[in-house]
């Protein structure tokens, strides 16, 4: 990866979901997990705030259950967070800090913490985006290795509660991984494949990828 780019996988990361209040805590966990994976954990608190405000804005002004897409991508040394929704006519406004109205306060907060933000209309609705400056000299991840990101997305569907601290958090994550593997094995058998053969192939692939990764360490 070029030195003037931040450590987000090539092509970015897209998370489709419904805008619902109960999704906010899961999105905050996902956001922190992604940024820690990309070694951008210093941005985690700010990014979580931006994600919460973007989704809350949809819930407040468009409605609960609205289908949205959250996207993380890189623009040079900036992390770009973009939320797409299907309503092109409800454009967020930035109100002065002294304004007593509730509407627009979220965008004022976004304006205060982001390096830049804006709105882009497109054929399927609109995108509200913001950009955060990454830490100069932050370690870069190999963009061609999406496996940890894919796995993290899947595991978060198996872990719906707030992660516990310390060893318990590791146990919860391991249990989620075991359940995910078991479900995949059941799926293979249901579709006429041999789970044992698949496990052997997966182990061989894992060892080959681990050997390749060690060359970069």
| Number of domains into which the chain is organized | 2
Residue with tokens 């209040």: 21
What radius of gyration, in Å, describes the C-alpha atoms of the chain?
Answer: 20
Which whole number is the average pLDDT over 188-210? 82
Three-class HEC string of 72-112 = EEEECCEEEEEEEECCCCCCCCCCCCCCCCCCCHHHHHHHH
Beta bridge partners of 70: 15, 83
Domain termination site, one of 133, 153, 184: 133
Give the tens place of pLDDT for each residue, 156-183. Answer: 555 544 444 444 445 556 777 788 888 8
Q: How confident is the model at residue 129 (pLDDT cuts 50, 70, 90)?
A: very high
| Whole-structure pTM value | 0.58
Residue 46 pLDDT greater than 80, yes or no: yes
Residue 8 pLDDT greater than 70, yes or no: no
5 in a structural domain? no
For 201, the domain range is 163-214
Q: Are residues 124 and 169 part of one domain?
A: no
Q: What pLDDT, on the 0 to 100 scale, is given for residue 130?
A: 94
DSSP string for 121-174: EETTEEEEEEEEEPPTTPPPPPTT--HHHHHHHHHHHH--SPPPSHHHHHHHHH
């Amino acid at each position: 990866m070029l030195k003037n780019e931040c450590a987000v996988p090539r092509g970015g990361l897209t998370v489709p979901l419904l805008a619902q209040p109960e999704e906010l805590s899961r999105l905050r966990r996902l956001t922190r997990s992604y940024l820690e994976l990309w070694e951008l954990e210093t941005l985690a608190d700010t990014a979580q705030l931006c994600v919460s405000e973007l989704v809350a804005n949809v819930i407040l002004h468009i409605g609960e259950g609205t289908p949205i897409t959250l996207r993380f991508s890189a623009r040079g040394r900036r992390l770009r967070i973009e939320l797409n929704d299907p309503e092109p006519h409800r454009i967020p406004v930035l109100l002065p800090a002294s304004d007593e109205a509730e509407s627009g306060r979220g965008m004022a907060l976004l304006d205060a913490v982001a390096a830049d933000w804006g709105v882009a209309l497109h054929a399927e609705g609109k995108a509200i985006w913001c950009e955060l400056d990454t830490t100069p000299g932050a370690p870069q991840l190999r963009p061609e290795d999406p496996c940890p990101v894919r796995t993290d997305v899947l595991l978060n569907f198996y872990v719906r509660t707030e992660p516990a601290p310390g060893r318990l958090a590791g146990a919860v994550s391991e249990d989620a991984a075991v359940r995910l593997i078991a479900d995949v094995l059941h799926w293979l058998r249901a579709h006429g494949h041999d789970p044992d053969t698949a496990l052997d192939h997966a182990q061989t692939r894992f060892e080959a990828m681990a050997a390749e990764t060690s060359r970069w360490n």
